[in-house]
Amino acid sequence: MRDILAAEVKRLANTVIWSWEGFRAAWATEKTLRQWTVANALAAVLAFSLDLAAAERGLVLALGLLILAAELINTAVEEVVDHLSPGLDPRAKKAKDCGSACVALTAIAAGVAWVVVLVG
């Protein structure tokens, strides 16, 4: 049982390390990730400054994190597409455009949540 627990702790530690390495790599090269991170920090300050219900605050904070997740997915898609298809290819363009649309829709969802929370 101790061996199983030790293996799971090591697996979890590796997951944290690899996730952090991925975020750092994207941070170093992706201006949009840095911009969304700043926007999320500002949104978090606003969320804690306003008199919001816990559920409202949780919603807008969680959607902000989902924007960052979508941006990381978009970065991963772009990296793989650029590696596998360095030339112009309509499928490569479609994959990259869909990744971008993922970020845009997530940002729109966060914006809608903010509007509903602030107006409602």
The set of catalytic residues is: 71
Strand intervals (E) in the chain: none
Q: Is 79 annotated as a binding residue?
A: no
Would you say 30 is a known binding-site residue? yes
Contacting residues for 20 by C-beta, under 8 A, at least 6 apart: none
The response to whether 19 counts as a known ligand-binding position is: no
CB 70 within 8 A of CB 106: yes
**Has 49 been labeled as part of a binding site?**
no
Q: Is 96 a known ligand-binding residue?
A: yes
Instruction: Go through 90-107 and write b for each residue having 16 or more CB atoms within 10 A of its CB, e for each that does not.
Output: eebeebbeebbebbeebb
User: Does 26 show up as a binding residue in the annotation?
Assistant: yes
Q: Is 104 annotated as a binding residue?
A: no
Angle between helices 90-119 and 54-84 (to 10 degrees): 170
* Binding-site annotation, residues for substrate: 11, 24-27, 57, 71, 100
* Binding-site annotation, residues: 11, 24-27, 30, 57, 71, 78, 96-97, 100
* Binding-site annotation, residues for a divalent metal cation: 30, 78
* Binding-site annotation, residues for ATP: 11, 30, 78, 96-97
